[in-house]
A = this chain, B = another copy of it.
Amino acid sequence: MISERIKNMQKSPIRKLVPFADQAKKRGIKVFHLNIGQPDIKTPAPVLNAIKNFSQEIIAYGYSQGELFLREAVSDYFKNYNVEVSPDDMIITTGGSEAILFAFSVVADIDDEIIVFEPYYTNYNGYAAMSNIKLVPVTTKAENGFSIPSTEEIEKKISNRTKAILVCSPNNPTGTVYPRKDLERIVKIAEKHNLFIISDEVYREFIYGEIEYTSMLHFEDAKDRVITVDSISKRYSACGARIGYIISKNKDVLNGVMKLAQARLCPPIVEQVAAAEAYRMSFSYFKEVQKEYKKRRDIMFNELKSIDGVVLELPMGAFYMVVKLPVKDSEHYARWLLEEFNYNNETVMVAPAGGFYSTPGLGSDEIRLAYVLEEKKLKRAMNILKKSLEVYPEKK
């Protein structure tokens, strides 16, 4: 009786193991969460203070485009990247989520296609279902650090219904940061086939020194085809604030997004006030954050590399890694960790990577790990993971 499109839509694969984690906790097992990208870093004080000092007497509708003071603060922030983004080049959205939904709607009609590199952020599937478009996967591989495949492989997937290529760097779920030359290739492909480029850059600051960051906004020549999706969630450890934005220098795109923005009236006001304070902070804030995450990444990477049969290249960004394990079925393994295993009454929760692929069967021996725990906890969690693989019965 409900619509087919909703009936056929998958439940979030990241969240579907939650009941098993809850049961483990009820049995008195401590569960370390490596499964979700919820940072444990405190939200910066200026953001929290802005909320405490919220002084409007009426929480009234704001501008559909978002408040000017926030757009100005974001515009200033981009100067750190030598990128000129004016307050009029962007529309504030309710989280990066809404920015993605708007981007999909504005570039594609029903049954149109968007190229995406798998494994990819699973919620793209939700937005694709909501806007009735098709995501066409180009597979990237653990063996070469999930780097962008050859131009030929990408072009094989382009049809006359293809409207855009979606790129996420630093990448969720793989942690891969694409080098400039690979992004250049994507720009060339987009030019050749007249496609939009949707660039999800929410992990922009999460890079750890091994590679220079390149934004799609750095390609001046491609400015009419680049649509940048961004969010404060990870950058300022404010996932629950639901503030993001969409940037485009293409006026048709921005006017189109504006229609969608007007239909939902405005993004939340209190959080816009808070977000502006985040963007007004000095860039030195990220130094400490990067140091902390780099330390965690190194712990996780080194622990994993010490396990027999693990396939993994050093991920240079975000706070995730996708790891190939010597297990037959990572979904079974993830559930077994919660239902049957414990090490001194502790276990870990991981995200089976199958849900990050749309090609059936792929990722069935991979998991995604998020390094969002502080050093001591992370070390304990990694030790538990290691111990679990020593006794897990369904090995390859």
Contact = CB atoms under 8 A, between A and B. Distances in A.
Interface of A: 1-7, 9-12, 15, 36, 38-43, 47-48, 51-54, 56-62, 64, 94-95, 97-98, 101, 105-110, 112, 123, 125-127, 129-132, 163, 194, 196, 237-242, 250, 252-253, 256-260, 262-271, 274
Given A11-B262, A105-B6, A130-B260, A94 B59 contact: no
A109 B3 contact: yes
Nearest to A252: B2
A362 to B, nearest CB: 21
A9 B271 contact: no
Given A2-B256, A241-B270, A59 B47 contact: yes
A106 B238 contact: no
Nearest to A37: B61
Number of copies: 2
A253 B41 CA distance: 37
A288 to B, nearest CB: 16
Given A42-B57, A95-B265, 5 more contacts: A40-B58, A43-B57, A48-B57, A110-B132, A126-B263
User: Which has the most chain B C-beta neighbours within 10 Å: A11, A58, A106?
Assistant: A58
Nearest to A97: B264
B262 A126 contact: yes
B253 A267 contact: no
Contacts of A258: 11
Contacts of A264: 94-95, 97-98, 101, 123, 126
Given A38-B61, A94-B242, A240-B268, A259 B11 contact: yes
B253 A241 contact: no
A377 to B, nearest CB: 15
Contacts of A259: 6, 9-12, 126
Contacts of A129: 263
Contact of A5 (B58, B61, B105): B105
A95 B129 CA distance: 21
